[in-house]
Amino acid sequence: MTDSNKSATLTIDGTEYELPMFSPTAGPDVVDIRKLYAQAGVFTYDPGFTSTASCDSTITFIDGDKGELLHRGYPIDQLAGKSHYLEVCYLLLYGELPTPAALEEFEATITRHTMIHEQMHNFFRGFRRDAHPMATMVGVVGAMSAFYHDSTDISDAYQREVASHRLIAKMPTIAAMAYKYSIGQPFVYPRNDLDYAANFLYMCFSVPAEEYNVDPILARAMDRIFTLHADHEQNASTSTVRLASSSGANPFACIAAGIACLWGPAHGGANQACLEMLNEIGTPDRIPEFIARAKDKNDPFRLMGFGHRVYKNHDPRATVMKQSADEVLELLGVDNNPILQVAKELEKAALADPYFAEKKLFPNVDFYSGIILEAMGFPTSMFTPIFALSRTVGWISQWKEMIADPQNKIGRPRQLYLGDTSRDYVDIENR
């Protein structure tokens, strides 16, 4: 953040107030209103905080109009195409791409932390079998502070580092266990000879009764899903993690808060909503009917997985994800899965329709990730847990950045109060 040599003048009841302005390395200038209440006795009003910068950050930058997503300055399509998830984790955590030796050490550290405390197995069994995996993850991740209390002191840099590694390493194990528990199968322990994505698929789909080999195409597709969801700037769940951590809460509680926020259908459920839409369409012959409905302004139906609230042009993550989707569908086929048949035909029809091109309603990352996860055999209830697993490193990176910020203070949003003013209590017999 640098001084822009500009200022904004705010006039209130004839009195002018000069407000400093700052220039970022990318994005719009910001007006500094930190002293506005002290000087002028007024708050600003911004529901959803859509025009408010709550922090400064060096981690992720998004330009929705250009369709640009950068992690530490590196375009997401380059990272997803040339890198892999744990290397992106290192980049987000430490600010630079690792040397070969540093990456090898980081990967070894994460691998050694993938097992969870054995006593946590009993914690899982306290949930009902039909509990949503996200409900289980919120509870288990929040409870990690009871099992790993040697890494909860946020003032200790070493403990912060250990907590970061533990969360990144154990989240796939926890998500896989939540899945196994929900379908009544035994837990599968992680394997140190498998990479991060392959290990997750192994823990989800292998059973003790027979050998299971992870297909490298599926592992690569899973790794890309992790990479493309690793961080997305100051969204609802990231802001939740930052707000929770501003009170000094331990890292496991903060990440559990992020998972709880992500569970909301307006945030983390987009790829699940996409699959539900494909189920509603049902068969390829009904696609023209639903495309016509999507064009009708008076019809509430919308094509889920097309367009994006942030990206006004194209989703830069979608191109790489489409490549993975094509590879997975070629490997597994779509002949016996009507939902995947609908997805392929819907993609083709929408891309060929001038209406969607004009409105810039292109398939986004949620459309393709939903197709991939469906093809792999994941139920829709696991889509958001996989999103949470992927986003954990982003939350941790944002958490670490906030803890190290000398300007860090507890979050305390203000309000526009519209309730009753002071009134006297009336005894119950007089009401």
Token pair 């979608």 is found at 318
E-only strand ranges, 134-214: none
CA pair distance 57, 404, nearest whole angstrom: 11
Q: Are the beta carbons of 133 and 178 closer than 8 angstroms?
A: yes
CA pair distance 431, 428, nearest whole angstrom: 5
Which one from 71, 84, 229, 308 is the annotated catalytic residue? 308
Which DSSP category does 207 fall into? Answer: B
Summary count for the chain: helices (H), strands (E): 18, 6
Q: Is 366 a catalytic residue?
A: yes
CA pair distance 250, 137, nearest whole angstrom: 17
Burial 78-102 (b: 16+ CB within 10 A, else e): ebbeebbbbbbbbbbbeeeebeeee
Question: φ, ψ for residue 58 (rounded to 5)?
Answer: -120, 15
E-only strand ranges, 252-384: none
Residues 6+ apart with CB under 8 A from 11: 17
Could you tell me which residues are beta bridge partners of residue 3?
22
Q: Are the beta carbons of 380 and 272 closer than 8 angstroms?
A: yes
Residue 219's identity, in one-letter code, is A
CA pair distance 220, 226, nearest whole angstrom: 10
CA pair distance 221, 144, nearest whole angstrom: 29
Q: Is 165 a catalytic residue?
A: no
Token representation of residue 129: 């079998």
Which one from 195, 223, 315, 366 is the annotated catalytic residue? 366
Token representation of residue 416: 């526009």
- Other beta carbons within 10 angstroms of residue 50's beta carbon come to 6
- The helix/strand/coil state of 101 is helix
- Other beta carbons within 10 angstroms of residue 340's beta carbon come to 21
CA pair distance 226, 392, nearest whole angstrom: 10
E-only strand ranges, 160-294: none
Active site residues: 308, 366
